[in-house]
């Protein structure tokens, strides 16, 4: 599997991206996203997001199975109105997906000992000026289990479990 850096370089060499960039020069890289199985296997190709500050919209490039990329139309950003979309600087991604997954596996039983993980998703992003591997899984008890691993040094920055179903409390 290509690293995120290699995949970004491949995208930047594509004519589709070059043509898009001519019209969206002020847009910046924000994230890599992929659905992930409970076993840590990517369930589809990486999606690479670029944010346009002027339109406040995001454009997603999706790696195709055979070769090349496709581009999704600009769309709204999934965030709170007070949140700021931060640039992802690939120089800050020092640990690979495989290394981040190993750290997740080491920590999951400690941080989420009573939960059984289902499928989820992985995002490489910058939050509060920290570049993170952000793992989120839906547990068998219908909760979100989230673990954020620093992409520079591999330290766990945050973990939380969020109820998906309001139990009327």
Give residue limits of the domains in the chain.
Answer: 4-163
Give the pLDDT of residue 39: 94
Q: Is the pLDDT of residue 76 over 90?
A: no
Q: Mind listing the pLDDT tens digit for each residue in 106-142? A: 999 898 988 999 999 999 999 999 999 999 999 998 9
Residue 56 C-beta-side C-alpha neighbours within 13 Å: 7
pLDDT at residue 66, rounded to an integer: 82
Question: Which is it for the CA torsion 23, 80, 108, 121, positive or negative?
Answer: negative
Tally helices (H) and strands (E) across the chain.
3, 9
Provide the pLDDT for residue 167.
57
* Total Cβ atoms within 10 A of residue 92: 16
């Amino acid at each position: 599997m290509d690293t995120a850096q290699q995949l970004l370089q491949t995208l930047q060499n594509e004519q589709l991206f070059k043509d898009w960039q001519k019209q969206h020069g002020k847009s910046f890289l924000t994230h890599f996203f992929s659905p992930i199985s409970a076993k840590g296997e990517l369930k589809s190709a990486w999606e690479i997001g670029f944010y346009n500050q002027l339109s406040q919209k995001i454009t997603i490039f999706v790696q195709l199975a055979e070769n090349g990329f496709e581009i999704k139309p600009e769309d709204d950003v999934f965030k709170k109105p007070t949140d700021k979309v931060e640039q992802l600087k690939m120089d800050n991604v020092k640990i690979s997906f495989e290394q981040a997954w190993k750290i997740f596996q080491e920590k999951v039983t400690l941080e989420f000992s009573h939960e059984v993980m289902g499928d989820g998703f992985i995002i490489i992003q910058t939050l509060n000026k920290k570049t993170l591997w952000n793992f989120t899984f839906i547990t068998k008890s219908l909760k979100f289990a989230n673990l954020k691993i620093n992409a520079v040094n591999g330290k766990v920055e945050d973990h939380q479990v969020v109820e998906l179903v309001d139990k009327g409390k």
